[in-house]
A = this chain, B = another copy of it.
Amino acid sequence: MRQTKYLLFTKKEIPKNSKNISHQLMIRSGMIKKTSSGIYTWLPNGTRVLKNIKKIIQKKLNKNNFLEISMPILQSSKLWIKSKRIDLYGKELFTILDRKQKKLILSPTHEEIITNLIKNTINSYKELPIIIYQIQTKFRDEIRPKEGILRTREFIMKDAYSFHKNKKSLKETYKKIFNIYLKIFLKMNLKIKIKKVKNGIIGGSISHEFHTYYNKHFSYNNSKNKKSIEIGHIFQLNTKYSKIFNTFIKTKKKKKLIEMGCYGIGISRLIGAIIENNCDKNGIIWPISIAPFHVSIIPINMKNNKKVKIISEKIYYQFKKNDIKVFFYDKNEQPGKMFSESDLIGFPYKIIISQKNIINKYVELKNRKTQLIKKIKIKNILKIILKKIKKKIN
């Protein structure tokens, strides 16, 4: 991507009313922009990160035979009246009247719809266990939206639902998904704390929350009251919803209520959490598989130096051709601005191209995390970057 063709939206100033480093950095690095209380637009940098996160999760789930579907955002309130959750959720539930004065809800979760779907399609225990998931926008009318993307009214969730012929099968799948969650979060450089908690209004018997930590250097204020961020929650629901919606399966001997589990990951919140865990005073330090771009090309004084321009363009072209996500500073800006912005956005690598070095056929390769600089022969730079990226991506 060329800077001249992109919208960076970066900011030097720390936004007011943001006590969290992740909130500050997401605004400053041009990932998100607030549009209403607890509601954000995802800008190009944020959208790229969001897509990478979705891809990592989808790949892992698909590999483990989770089936992807997409349930509607608008649900009839009837199902929620039947499950009694319309009252239990209370004011956190966004409700809406359509032109025929029928009440609809903006989905915060989908247990009612999925149970009815399974009821109408699965009859035999032979078709179980099955795990279905979606990645979707969800809604909760938070009384006090705060901390940027960590507590919003409109957010993105991965929600999965499993169905079983008995408790033993549910417990096996639950354990399997528990371990998949740990692997996903570890891949994202997150320190994880597990909490065994009560199931609450969602129902069922056993549930675990997956938490990670706020940044202890830069997010003081929140750490005092609330020491961790919930990024995942899994539940053994047992027959709570199958009982409400009469969802039976035939086993060898008799008809019985289907056993159910549900499994959430807060995708948008996860991004804030990753930043809390992966940043320094200069900005974000993205794991390479999540970064909006792998590398930035920083030409020094390109305007007055034809050779710098030629080498920069050549490297950019080579990288693009090899599917490296590369960001090319092609606007002749001051080196200081390009360096600090690259640190802020969190490109894992910078390639610095200056007259001094290209005379000796070198470029400089700077690692965002370690801040170490290496001189690399121009002819080797593609190979080295490919190796670094492949090593982490695959």
Listed in ascending order, the chain A residues whose CB lies under 8 Å from chain B are 5-7, 9, 33, 35-36, 39-44, 46-48, 50-51, 65, 67-76, 91, 94-96, 98-99, 104, 106, 113, 116-117, 120-122, 127, 130, 132, 137, 139, 141, 143, 153-154
Contact assessment for B43 and A69 in the assembled complex, using a CB-CB cutoff below 8 Å: yes
For residue A75, which residues in chain B have a CB less than 8 angstroms away from its CB?
35-36
Grouping DSSP codes into helix (H, G, I), strand (E, B) and loop, the A interface class, with mixed when no group exceeds half, is: mixed
Q: Which of B5, B9, B50, B67 contacts A44 (CB 8 A)?
A: B67
Contact assessment for B104 and A98 in the assembled complex, using a CB-CB cutoff below 8 Å: no
Q: Would you mind naming 25 contact pairs between A and B with Cβ atoms under 8 Å apart?
A: A5-B65, A6-B67, A7-B127, A35-B113, A36-B72, A36-B75, A36-B104, A41-B69, A41-B71, A41-B72, A41-B113, A43-B69, A44-B67, A46-B69, A46-B70, A47-B69, A51-B68, A72-B154, A73-B73, A91-B99, A94-B98, A96-B106, A98-B153, A99-B141, A106-B106
Contact assessment for B35 and A76 in the assembled complex, using a CB-CB cutoff below 8 Å: yes
Contact assessment for A76 and B36 in the assembled complex, using a CB-CB cutoff below 8 Å: yes
For residue A47, which residues in chain B have a CB less than 8 angstroms away from its CB?
68-70
The CA-CA distance from A35 to B47 in the complex, in Å, is: 30
Q: Which of B9, B68, B69 contacts A121 (CB 8 A)?
A: B9
Contact status of A72 and B39, CB under 8 A, knowing A65-B5, A137-B137: yes
Contact assessment for A40 and B72 in the assembled complex, using a CB-CB cutoff below 8 Å: yes
The CA-CA distance from A74 to B99 in the complex, in Å, is: 18
Q: Which residue of B lies closest to A113 (CB)?
A: B35
For residue A121, which residues in chain B have a CB less than 8 angstroms away from its CB?
7, 9
For residue A40, which residues in chain B have a CB less than 8 angstroms away from its CB?
72
Give 10 closest A-B pairs by Cβ, nearest first: A42-B70, A96-B96, A36-B76, A91-B99, A39-B72, A44-B67, A41-B71, A5-B65, A99-B141, A47-B68
Contact assessment for B71 and A44 in the assembled complex, using a CB-CB cutoff below 8 Å: no
Q: Which residue of B lies closest to A76 (CB)?
A: B36
Known pairs A7-B121, A74-B139; list 18 more (Cβ under 8 Å): A9-B121, A36-B104, A40-B72, A41-B69, A41-B71, A41-B113, A41-B117, A42-B69, A43-B69, A46-B70, A48-B68, A73-B73, A74-B154, A91-B99, A98-B141, A98-B153, A99-B143, A106-B106
For residue A36, which residues in chain B have a CB less than 8 angstroms away from its CB?
72, 74-76, 104
Least CB distance from A117 to B in Å reads 6
The CA-CA distance from A69 to B8 in the complex, in Å, is: 12
The listed residue with most B CB atoms (<10 A of its CB), out of A91, A132, A137, is A137
Contact status of A94 and B91, CB under 8 A, knowing A69-B41, A72-B154, A139-B74: no
For residue A68, which residues in chain B have a CB less than 8 angstroms away from its CB?
44, 47-48, 51
